[in-house]
Structure 1
Amino acid sequence: MAGYKNILVGLDLSEDSAQVLDRAAQIAADSGAQVSLAHIIEPLTFAYGGDIPMDLSEVQEQLQNQAKDQLRKAGAALNIPESRQHVMLGQPATEIHRLAEDSGCDLIVIGSHGRHGLALLLGSTANGVLHGAGCDVLAVRVHSPKE
Structure 2
Amino acid sequence: MSGVVLCALDISQPDHEAPVLRRAAQLAKLDGARLDVMTVLPDYGTSMVGSYFKEGFHDKLESEAAKSLSDLVEKTLGAEENASVRHVVATGTVYEQVLKVAKTDGADLIVIGSHRPVLRDYLLGPNASRVVRHSNCSVYVVRDA
Q: Percent identity?
A: 27
* Paired position in structure 2 for 1:121: 123
Kindly tell me the number of residue pairs found equivalent between the two proteins: 139
Q: CA RMSD in A?
A: 2.3
Supply the distance in 2 between the matched residues of 1:34 and 1:86 (Cα, whole angstroms).
13
Unpaired segments of 5 or more residues in structure 2?
Answer: none
- Among 51, 57, 60, which residue is 2:58 paired with? 60
Change (3 A) 1:133 1:50: same
Spell out the pairing of 1:30-69 with structure 2 (5 A cutoff). Answer: 30-44=30-44, 50=48, 54-69=52-67
Contact persistence 1:72–1:82 (CA under 8 A): no
Spell out the pairing of 1:15-94 with structure 2 (5 A cutoff). Answer: 15-44=15-44, 50=48, 54-76=52-74, 77=77, 79-81=81-83, 84-94=86-96
Contact persistence 2:8–2:110 (CA under 8 A): yes
| 1:108 counterpart = 2:106 | no
Supply the distance in 1 between the matched residues of 2:10 and 2:136 (Cα, whole angstroms).
21
Contact persistence 1:4–1:33 (CA under 8 A): yes
Contact persistence 2:45–2:51 (CA under 8 A): no
After alignment, is 127-136 or 67-76 more displaced?
67-76
Change (3 A) 1:116 1:6: same
Unpaired segments of 5 or more residues in structure 1?
Answer: none
TM-score scaled to structure 2, two decimals?
0.82
User: Higher helix share goes to which structure?
Assistant: 2
After alignment, is 71-80 or 53-62 more displaced?
53-62
Supply the distance in 1 between the matched residues of 2:30 and 2:84 (Cα, whole angstroms).
23
Contact persistence 1:37–1:85 (CA under 8 A): yes
User: Is the partner of 1:12 in helix, strand or coil?
Assistant: coil
